Amino acid sequence: MNMPIKHILAAITGVFFAASALAQSQWDGWDYKFDREITSWAEMQSQLPPYPADGSLIPLDVGSVSSHRFFVDGRSVSADKDGVVRYTLVIKTSGGATNVSFEGIRCETREQKYYAIGRAGGGWVRARNPHWKYIEFKEVNAHHITLYGEFACNGKFVRGTAEQIVQALRRGPVRPQAID
């Protein structure tokens, strides 16, 4: 089967442009590799932050509705050029349990995802379903919307460097004062 040269060139050009578009849409950040399993879980574990220590936990005020206490590990916060703020979240429940997760917030799309879950005694396990999910407002356990809107993102953009985000977390949320 002989194809005319113009059809072959058109096919090659189409493949080239499709590959270029795909390359343009790829995240060059950590989660791109994580999602597509370019590297093994063992390799990804070496890129995870250290397991959080009580001394590096910053309280996260999410309002008075929840009886749980929320913390961000200040050592784990990163604000990367891919538009994702990554951090370790620690939730101490009112029942005495502690939940630890390494997560990311994508500012451009107002989405969150879990990368890894902390194990009892330290260490990480890959999250079962590491997919981006839209951050909705919830009165109970409003930690993701609080992180997104008050600390990590300014609209569709990362609010600042990792250090600036950590400083803002330490200062706490800026809430309007009641007018007498």
For residues 39 and 52, which has the higher predicted lDDT (pLDDT)?
Answer: 52
**Structural domain includes residue 10:** no
For residues 33 and 91, which has the higher predicted lDDT (pLDDT)?
Answer: 91
Over residues 27-31, mean pLDDT: 49
**Structural domain includes residue 112:** yes
Cα–Cα nearest to 77, from 96, 95, 52, 55: 52
Over residues 50-55, mean pLDDT: 93
Domain residues for the domain of 86 are 51-171
**Structural domain includes residue 70:** yes
User: What share of the chain has pLDDT > 90, as a percent?
Assistant: 50
pLDDT at 50: 93
Is there a contact between 126 and 116 (Cβ–Cβ < 8 Å)? yes
**Structural domain includes residue 159:** yes
**Structural domain includes residue 1:** no
pLDDT at 167: 96
Written as one letter, the residue type at 1 is M
How many structural domains are present in the chain?
1
**Structural domain includes residue 3:** no
* Structural element, H or E, at residue 103: strand 98-106
Q: For residue 15, which phi and psi values (nearest 5 degrees)?
A: -65, -40
> 89-104: per-residue pLDDT in tens?
999 998 999 999 999 9
Q: Which residue blocks in the chain are alpha helix, DSSP H?
A: 5-25, 30-36, 41-45, 143-146, 162-171
How are the residues of the chain apportioned to helix, strand and coil, as percentages rounded to the nearest 5? 30, 30, 40
> 127-148: per-residue pLDDT in tens?
888 889 999 987 766 899 999 9
**Structural domain includes residue 45:** no
Look up the CATH number of the domain holding residue 102: 2.40.128
At 172, the pLDDT band (50, 70, 90 cuts) reads confident
**Structural domain includes residue 148:** yes
